[in-house]
Structure 1
Amino acid sequence: MDLLSLRYFQTVAKLENMTLAAEILQISQPAISKMIKNLEGELNVKLFDRTGKYIRLNEYGKRFLVKVDLALQTLEEGKTELLDLSERPTGTVVIFIQAGSYLLPDMITLFRQKYPEAQFKLLQQDQEISRYPAFDLCISSTPLKIPGTVSTPVLTEEILLAVPNEHRLATRKSVRLNELAEDGFISLKIGKQLRETTDSLCHAAGFAPRIIYECDEPSMVRSLVRSGLGVSFIPAVTWGGSQGSSVVLLPIEEPISTRTIEISWYTNRYMTNVAKKFKAFVEDYYKQLEEDKLKNESTNPKA
């Protein structure tokens, strides 16, 4: 039993299609079929049920696949660990991004200025991913309910209300959220963490928000508010400060409107050197954001 046989088996098992597996692995179908048969002969069990040209992973195959996945992952981690020991911060950092996506391009750009060989793979909340996705780091704004992970907060920010400058409340210093119960809201789509948070804030204020526009990106939310088409929630730090002269940002008196950004990681998986460095970089980045905001508030106090 060699590594190549295990990798071929893993590919066939996940696809349950010899032809497609052969195309992906760039070998002939007879060659991969022979290798699978040899592996079954060595194990003395059938790993697949065959019906004509179709194959299905059977119970033996499913159990063996779990072990093969673990073995190949462990070997890959061992290879990466050896690279790390040579103090070369290279490789790919897999980030599951659930909040703060607006800031991520800047973080990656600044980080790669120092470590140009670092690569990144981004998993987003609205992608087709498994319930427990494989990642090095996750940036989220709600507690991450994935077994085997731990989290640390990196930023707590105020959630402000953005209104057009001609809105009836635009001259106020602050508002109570229930004063907006009849307004039309511009919001991110259902499934986004910020949308879940702001919907909960509205419900705490005694009303369900009347959503008139749903958007995929923060930039579109801001544009629609600037156009005077509705009101919206704006995280004070991660979505930037001023939204332009056509928009007024108002603190919310009631209910308390904040969110905490956290960074999470698996405790039972090896974290590469480059992932560790990026984790520390993210923590410092958010700390600097908060310090800059406090400094700006002290030099430009609200009237």
Structure 2
Amino acid sequence: MKLLQLYYFNCVAESQCISKTAKALHIAQPSLTQTIKRLEREIGAPLFDHVGRQIVLNTYGKILYDRTRTIFASLNQAKSEILYQTNQKKRTITLSVHCASPILPGLVQSFKMKYPDILLRVYQSSDLEHDKKDVDLKISAYTSIENLSPESSTLLLEENLVIAKPFNYIPNDPAKFDTSVLSLKNFCNESFISLTEKSNLYEILQSCCQQYGFTPNISLFCDNPQVFREMLKLGMGVSLIPEQSWAEIIKTLPDLLTIIPIHSPASKRYIYLTWEKEKYQSEAVLAMKQHIIDYFSKLI
């Protein structure tokens, strides 16, 4: 059993497509097929089942894939450590941010003041989701406490979600606002503005409204957080926004927005910092991780 055979098998197991894998590896498809067949003969069992024109890992294949994945993860980690120790790897951090954009400038600025020689790449969308190997740390939000491994994540912030209503916005259903205790359901007939469908804020809006048994009437989408906030100020609709991570934005708009707390029950979101457990973390990444944790702790 050769390492190259296992590597080819691992690639096929991840793509579950012989032709696609062969093209990615720049080898002939018949050659890749024969490699997999030789490996199956050595193992003494088939590794894939055919489902129509596709192949899927069977029970034996899953056992081998779990092992090979660990092997290649260890090899990649060893390579990363060697490159770093020989100073061939630059001090670079790639941070993927899916939420809490208003606090990002302050977070980055304070980090760069402490570590000016570290190169920081910040992505404020899912641009790198197709290649998670490039991401060192990711900040994302959920509508509930997640059962994530403490070895690859930490909870940064638990915050309330509130309704931002522009002063010049005229409710479609004013009668539902004549109460001291407002539920998100009071806004079921109102027009919402939101970031695009790929955004974390959109996912949270949908999830929260579904918990109250309705789908939000979104009248305007924006693909830029700054434009989104400008549209909100113009009275284009109401929006569900996070209270603490957007606190500085809220403070700058006291004469333009009414912030309405949601009760019965309150809506919340939970911001997590996550990373790949098996990926090697340089001293620079560890420093950034601790800086993010410390920075968010000051928001509580």
Secondary structure of residue in 1 paired with 2:182: helix
The one-letter code sitting in structure 2 at the alignment partner of 1:77 is Q
Provide the residue aligned with 2:288 in structure 1.
278
The one-letter code sitting in structure 1 at the alignment partner of 2:217 is I
Q: What does 1:102-121 align with in structure 2 at a 5 Å threshold? A: 103-104=103-104, 107=107, 114=116, 116-117=118-119
Superposed CA offset, 1:33-65 (max 9, x none):
343333234333333457999755444323222
**For structure 1, which segment, 54-63 or 273-282, has the greater mean C-alpha deviation from structure 2 after superposition?**
54-63
CA shift in 2, pair 1:40/1:104, >3 Å: farther
Secondary structure of residue in 1 paired with 2:99: coil
Provide the residue aligned with 1:299 in structure 2.
none
State the alpha-carbon separation in 1 of the partners of residues 263 and 16 from structure 2.
55
Q: 2:192 aligns with which of 178, 186, 189?
A: 186
State the alpha-carbon separation in 2 of the partners of residues 253 and 51 from structure 1.
49
Mapped contact 1:159–1:234 kept (Cα < 8 A):
yes
Task: Name the TM-score, length of structure 1 as normaliser.
Answer: 0.63
Secondary structure of residue in 2 paired with 1:178: coil
* Ranges in structure 2 where 5+ consecutive residues have no aligned partner: 172-178
Provide the residue aligned with 2:258 in structure 1.
249
Q: What does 1:230-241 align with in structure 2 at a 5 Å threshold? A: 230-239=237-246, 240-241=249-250
**For structure 1, which segment, 258-267 or 56-65, has the greater mean C-alpha deviation from structure 2 after superposition?**
258-267
The one-letter code sitting in structure 2 at the alignment partner of 1:186 is F
CA shift in 2, pair 1:51/1:198, >3 Å: closer
Mapped contact 1:19–1:29 kept (Cα < 8 A):
yes
CA shift in 2, pair 1:12/1:153, >3 Å: closer
Q: CA deviation at 1:27?
A: 1.9
Q: CA deviation at 1:120?
A: 6.3
State the alpha-carbon separation in 2 of the partners of residues 253 and 147 from structure 1.
27
Mapped contact 2:99–2:139 kept (Cα < 8 A):
no
CA shift in 2, pair 1:255/1:136, >3 Å: same
Q: CA deviation at 1:266?
A: 6.9
CA shift in 2, pair 1:233/1:23, >3 Å: closer
Mapped contact 1:48–1:56 kept (Cα < 8 A):
yes
**For structure 1, which segment, 237-246 or 278-287, has the greater mean C-alpha deviation from structure 2 after superposition?**
237-246
Provide the residue aligned with 2:167 in structure 1.
165
Q: What does 1:1-303 align with in structure 2 at a 5 Å threshold? A: 1-48=1-48, 57-83=57-83, 90=91, 93=94, 95=96, 99-101=99-101, 103-104=103-104, 107=107, 114=116, 116-117=118-119, 124=126, 137-149=138-150, 152-155=154-157, 157=159, 159-166=161-168, 176=180, 178=182, 181=186, 184-188=190-194, 192-197=203-208, 211-213=217-219, 215=221, 217=223, 218-219=225-226, 221-239=228-246, 240-242=249-251, 244=253, 247-250=256-259, 252=261, 259=268, 261-265=270-274, 269=278, 272-273=281-282, 274-287=284-297, 290=299
Superposed CA offset, 1:249-292 (max 9, x none):
3353856867464334479646613442222122233346x39x
State the alpha-carbon separation in 2 of the partners of residues 54 and 143 from structure 1.
36
Q: How big is the alpha-carbon RMSD for the aligned residues of Structure 1 and Structure 2? A: 4.8
Task: Name the TM-score, length of structure 2 as normaliser.
Answer: 0.64
Q: Identity percentage over the alignment?
A: 21
CA shift in 2, pair 1:32/1:153, >3 Å: closer
Mapped contact 1:148–1:268 kept (Cα < 8 A):
no
State the alpha-carbon separation in 2 of the partners of residues 255 and 52 from structure 1.
50
Q: CA deviation at 1:9?
A: 1.1
* Ranges in structure 1 where 5+ consecutive residues have no aligned partner: 170-174, 292-303
